Amino acid sequence: MTDLAAGRSYRDVVTRSVYWQAGGRLAGQALSWVVSLFVVRILSPTDYGLAAIAGLVTGLLAMVAELGIGASAVQVEKLDRERLRNMASVVYLMHGAAFLLTFLLAPLVAFAYDEPGVEPVMRGLSAMFLLMAVYVLPESLLERDLRFQEKTTAELAATLTSMLTALGIALAGGGVWALVGSILMLHLTKAVLFNVMVRMPLMPRWSAEAVRPFVRYGSIVMFAQIAHYLFSSADVAIGGRVLGKELLGLYVVTLTVVSVPLDKFMPAITKVSFAAFSRIQTEPDRVVRNVLRGVRLSSLLAFPFYFGLAVIAPECIPLILGDKWAGIVAPLQILCLAFPLRTVAAILPPALYAVGRPGTNLGNVIIALAIMSVAFLLGVRRGVNGLALAWGIAYPLVFLISSVRALRALGVPARSFAGAILPAAFAGALMGGAVALLRTTVPIPGVALQVGVLILVGTLAYAAVLFPLRRYALADLEVVFRRGARAGAPAVQP
């Protein structure tokens, strides 16, 4: 029985879901990053470069194979077992084709990048499609019913087994296979646990008429995901042809560090948001209020993280990753200018999907792909720093265009949207200035102590500036924690 069926209020169920998803991700990613630090120290930039090139193709095919069927299962108002069986036939067929295609394309991709090591890596990764086929629908059903407590438990277990696999293979001298093994173990664990939790193995049944509406909606979602993937991967694809695998590895690690909130924590919000917005898709006023609340909260967290990271990066990166990664400091600081906006922008697509406007998001991503591809082609001439500059200069324009289009489709006033962002941005900028001033004027002995003091001072400065500017932003955060606690969800881990 779902929480809603059991009589809990919509608001408490959504808050509980956010708590479990965000809390589980926090616990999982904390563990992941502790282990990843050891793995990064063992592996070389070349290993990460090979994995990044192979991931360009496998990541794209993963989106094509899913065909947006999972999103359709979450968004549709009524879903019975017969429809699920028809969906399963599409999922199995597409993922089987992706497995074969990845295996066959491996030598061609290796030839295109002049990297023979890419071929075995791609063929190893091809097995992930067979595993994904087994759990796409069970995972979607958990999301549809807002059963994020169970979903988070499975994801936490998958993260644990994945990272331990990576560490074990890396310590054994497996090189890039530590990364491949961790990905396969992640999908294997999910395949087992999601099916145990849903307990409804689906035998496929094909009916073109039955699956047509789901494929129609899912296809738009799929094309938007593909376009977003191309947009997100254009820098790596272009850099891989120009920079070589070592410099590409440096850039990939830079991007990985700066993408932590976007890739690791924001999905906890966006996944719950999609399911939650789908429940209120016929109530536009509630959608608007919740979009603005999501924007306020994401701004509240994103701006201080990125602006603070930009200031302390020269001490923080060598301390955490080691001196061999000191070259990522400058591009990381540049990326920190654009990524607060990317984090805020992640709130809008789930709302567009939920209210039946995936085409608007597709248009936004195509615009972003066109603008950023040109920027990357120009920036890559200046190496890793040039790719980072492309983000810093071109992405604010992308954010402005896509936000205007999305707000119009959702009926969100632009002034309210800007009002939800600017206080946190202003407070974050003042915080960054205060930390930079302290860093250059007050000598603090020891790098670890210096980093700790700067983080503490930055946190206090941010809170001091933000509180009188926008009390309700902090009130939103307080409400989330209070309701989550009342719903019985722990704040950090399941």
Give pLDDT tens digits for 446-459. Answer: 777 877 777 887 77
Q: What is the pLDDT of residue 139?
A: 85
Distance CA 465, CA 352 (A): 33
Quick check: is 4 in a domain? no
Q: Which residue has the higher pLDDT, 319 or 390?
A: 390
**The total number of structural domains that make up the chain:** 1
pLDDT (mean) for 282-298: 77
Domain that holds residue 405: 10-486
pLDDT of residue 67: 66
What's the pLDDT score for residue 445?
77
Look at residue 474 and tell me whether its pLDDT is greater than 70.
no
Q: With cut-offs at 50, 70 and 90, classify the pLDDT of residue 270.
A: low
Q: Is 482 exposed, middle or buried (0-12, 13-18, 19+ CB in 10 A)?
A: exposed
Specify if 492 maps to a domain.
no
d(CA 134, CA 141): 13
List all residues 6 or more positions away from 350 whose beta carbon is below 8 Å from its beta carbon.
Answer: 270, 271, 273, 274, 277
The verdict on residue 136 lying in a domain is yes
Residue 3 lies in a domain: no
Chain position carrying tokens 């990066």? 313
Residue 20 lies in a domain: yes
In sequence order, what DSSP letters do the residues of 29-72 get, joined into one string?
Answer: HHHHHHHHHHHHHHS-HHHHHHHHHHHHHHHHHHHHHHTTHHHH
Q: What percent of the chain has pLDDT over 90?
A: 11
What is the Cα–Cα distance from 87 to 82, expressed in whole angstroms?
Answer: 9
Max mean pLDDT range (11-25, 150-164, 443-457, 468-482): 150-164
Question: Is 5 inside a domain boundary?
Answer: no
- Per the domain annotation, does 376 fall within a domain? yes
Tell me the C-alpha distance between 23 and 272, whole Å: 13
What would the mean pLDDT of 172-201 be, rounded to a whole number? 87
Q: Does 73 reside within a domain?
A: yes
Where residue 127 falls among pLDDT bands split at 50, 70, 90?
very high
Average pLDDT over residues 464-468: 71
